[in-house]
Amino acid sequence: MTVAPTSTQFKDNAHEALNDARLQRALVHARNFIPRRSAAAERMPEFEALRDSARDIKNHTLAHLDLYLEAYEKKVLETGGHVHWARDAEHARKIFLDLCHARGAKRVTKGKSMISEEIGLNAALEADGVEAVETDLGEYIIQLRGEAPSHIIAPAIHVTRDDVEADFRKAHRDLPESRDLSQPEQLLAEARGILRDKFLTADIGVTGANFLIAETGTSVIVTNEGNGDLTQILPKVHVVIASLEKIVPTLDDAAQLLRVLARSATGQDMSVYTTLSTGPRRPGDVDGPEDYHVILLDNGRSAMLGGPFEDMLRCIRCGACMNHCPVYHQIGGHAYGWVYPGPMGAVLTPSLIGVAEGGQLPNASTFCGRCEQVCPMRIPLPKMMRHWREREFERHLTPAGARYGLGVWAFFARRPTLYRLATQAAMRALKLASRNRGRFASLPLAGGWTAHRDLAAPQGSTFQAQWRARSGATR
């Protein structure tokens, strides 16, 4: 389920997150991905070259996206599948609901799909009287909690074991109260049993797609649990919902991307299940869906092509950026207020929901650059966050106080003589104000700094003054 964006309240969200002791304890786990990714990268000497190869494949694809989309569709139709084109979230929901009605579907199982979050699919299904069951264990847990995912590959990373036990006891009321759920194994066994029944009785199975292969009309999903597979082979209908930029040209291209995906995400060389699905059952098949539908979603992607945010369309949703982000580490994913958190969320969100709604996110970055350093697709994330800041500045969306302060600074910075005089004067004034204690615990107009830290007072004189004094120069 996805609620309306709260990204404009990012600061309040972050404040809540910083003061949520339970969340802070759980967030420590997000950092485990860091050593695993670097170990996987080190174990493969060709890893850096593979990143370049992956980037080049996606760039080629995006430059020819119209043609690859047509080729992909042709293949899906040839193999007996159906392709639906959705302009936006509302259109995609309608297409899906129409499919449910045509089938009289009452129960839908879901593999993990961020696109389904983006379009708010679960809420739409529930409003229509259709039961939507998340089958990825993390997604199942947060569905019980009525929450959105807080990480794109580890959706329940913010939830503790105690939380899970409490949620299961509350939701699985038919099971004996006296049962022991103190161990993670027992929780898993319980979820496995409950979801097994749902898998076997679902009318429609929905998955996302990590890749859509034009060469063969194939959808690719990558999981460790196998839930995506049970979702797509057991029901009579399999629906794939994927955004336009998931297209890759060939099986070989998919192989290149797969090599950097799992390594960047969890540090595995290969996820447990990488599944290529092509169309419905064939003559001779004894299992598998009878109907295979692909919903291709635009929802802002075509507008990103050919523009300054085009590089973001290379994203393969591995999560490495947020795993390495100092801001994400402090607050987790929900604080970002919409579907996509961390650095990739900061760049993508304003493109999809507008800069007025999403513009806070690209501002909440120190530009440390770690995200770009680990992105398997070499997406220049800080550069694009800076682009968003430029957009906001041009449209006067930058807060008035910040704009004014910047204006004052810029006035001096463009006038060297005034700048020199002003900095010397400021230094003398600050030194006097510090009364030789060397630092300030508080200072008017510097509350944003001194609320949390001391502010060092200037010492000596400026470099230029000292240079002039030592060299006897007159300028």
Closest CB 26 distance from another protein, rounded Å: 7
The answer to whether residue 426 forms part of the interface with another protein (CB under 8 A) is no
Q: Can you tell me which of 4, 21, 42, 45 binds another protein, judged by CB under 8 A?
A: 45
Contact 389, 370 (CB under 8 A): no
Closest CA to 241 of 424, 77, 111: 111
* Stretch touching another protein by CB under 8 A, among 38-46, 99-107, 315-323, 338-346: 38-46
Give the separation between CA 94 and CA 85, rounded to whole angstroms: 11
Contact 91, 298 (CB under 8 A): no
Applying the rule CB under 8 A, the residues between 317 and 376 that interact with another protein are 326-327, 330-331, 363-370, 372-373
* Stretch touching another protein by CB under 8 A, among 117-125, 202-210, 342-350, 380-388: 380-388
* Stretch touching another protein by CB under 8 A, among 123-131, 314-322, 341-349, 394-402: 394-402
Indicate the residue among 102 and 272 with the shorter CB distance to another protein. 272
Applying the rule CB under 8 A, the residues between 175 and 204 that interact with another protein are 184-185, 187-188, 191-192, 195-196, 199-200
Closest CA to 244 of 379, 68, 111, 96: 68
Contact 54, 260 (CB under 8 A): yes
Closest CB 168 distance from another protein, rounded Å: 11
Query: 404 in the Ramachandran plot: left (φ > 0), alpha (ψ -120 to 50) or beta?
Result: alpha
Indicate the residue among 126 and 269 with the shorter CB distance to another protein. 269
* Stretch touching another protein by CB under 8 A, among 100-108, 170-178, 262-270, 339-347: 262-270
Indicate the residue among 129 and 212 with the shorter CB distance to another protein. 212
The answer to whether residue 390 forms part of the interface with another protein (CB under 8 A) is yes
The answer to whether residue 444 forms part of the interface with another protein (CB under 8 A) is no
Contact 286, 100 (CB under 8 A): no
Closest CB 129 distance from another protein, rounded Å: 26
Alpha carbon of 22 to those of 11, 164, 185, 363: distances in Å?
19, 13, 22, 26
Applying the rule CB under 8 A, the residues between 263 and 302 that interact with another protein are 268-282, 284-288, 296, 298, 302
* Stretch touching another protein by CB under 8 A, among 1-9, 124-132, 170-178, 209-217: 209-217
Closest CA to 377 of 261, 209, 270: 261
Closest CB 311 distance from another protein, rounded Å: 14
CB atoms within 10 A of CB 174: 5
Q: Give the list of residues 6+ apart from residue 31 with CB closer than 8 angstroms, or none.
A: 323, 329
Give the separation between CA 312 and CA 379, rounded to whole angstroms: 6
Closest CB 342 distance from another protein, rounded Å: 14
